[in-house]
A = this chain, B = another copy of it.
Amino acid sequence: MAFDLNSYLSDEQALINAEIDRMLPDSDGISRIVEAMRYSLLADGKRVRPILCIAAFRLVGGKTKDILPVACALEMIHTYSLIHDDLPAMDNDHLRRGKPTCHVMFDEATALLAGDALLTLAFETLSAPTLAVNRTAQWLEVIQTISKAAGFRGMIEGQMRDMHAEGSQLTLDALEVLHHLKTGALIRASVLAGAVVGGGCAEQIKNLEIYAQNLGLAFQITDDILNIEGDPHLMGKAAGTDALRCKNTYPVIMGLDEAKQYARTIIDRALKALENFDNRAQPLREIAQYILTRKR
């Protein structure tokens, strides 16, 4: 049976969304914080990080549902970073995942606390006592990998550089470092966490790391391209915002056509890192191809 990426992605999204919904039950409006957390977390996201995590897990032979809490924790961390990034003190964005941003829907204080709560819940989820009774060392390793990626040497430093780079001209190298930090670090951690929990060997983990780093970069380049050429309705957020903010983007630094070509080169590198895997790598291969043609 031919592999159908669209149905694969929507099956995975449904699995992840059901798990998130189970983890953070609707409190019938009793807690405004839970309401705001659910509002942003259950919005129509692509679930890139959890999907990559589960795909890497299965690729190295993982079979149980152990990986689901890790996948959901990654989405919680990603969502918290979006909520805080959208705040007036940061990017002051009003639209996200096709809906008003958290602070517009609720208020700034609630959005701030909902982001804090999602970050905290990620670590509560990753340390749940029902998990991996005999593999606690591995579980600590996953917490370490994810917290490092999300922290001040990873994603947060990337957000800081992104903000301070607005209005000044970056070199291509500096832009690359910025994106490796801002989006690359957590995407890399997602794939690594999946491979570690799945019991991958050192060589598999090394190759998956190369895949993830290139995929993350290509994802960012196409994000920049979509901000110029994309359809705001498909993306669920405004287009053209990078130019308005004089953001450093690949199309600005390289030119639009060169940026598209560069994304293809980077995706080829990602695919090459998978060449020693069998056909269980098909989801990761197809996801890499999809990055180049995505509309959202």
Contacts and interface: CB of A to CB of B under 8 A. Distances in A.
Interface of A: 31-34, 37, 80, 84, 87, 89-90, 107-110, 112-113, 115-117, 119-121, 123-124, 126-129, 133, 136-137, 139-141, 143-144, 147-148, 150-152, 156-157, 159-160, 163-164
A36 to B, nearest CB: 9
Contacts of A80: 116
Contact of A31 (B31, B148, B157, B163): B157
Contact of A116 (B33, B108, B119, B127): B119
Given A90-B109, A109-B163, A121-B151, A144 B128 contact: yes
Given A109-B163, A121-B152, A152-B37, A144 B116 contact: no
B112 A152 contact: no
Nearest to A151: B120
Contacts of A128: 144
A226 B133 CA distance: 47
B144 A129 contact: yes
A12 to B, nearest CB: 26
A140 B139 contact: yes
Contacts of A137: 133, 136
B109 A152 contact: no
Given A33-B152, A152-B37, A160-B32, A127 B140 contact: yes
Contact of A120 (B117, B126, B141, B152): B152
B112 A89 contact: yes
Contacts of A33: 152, 156-157, 160
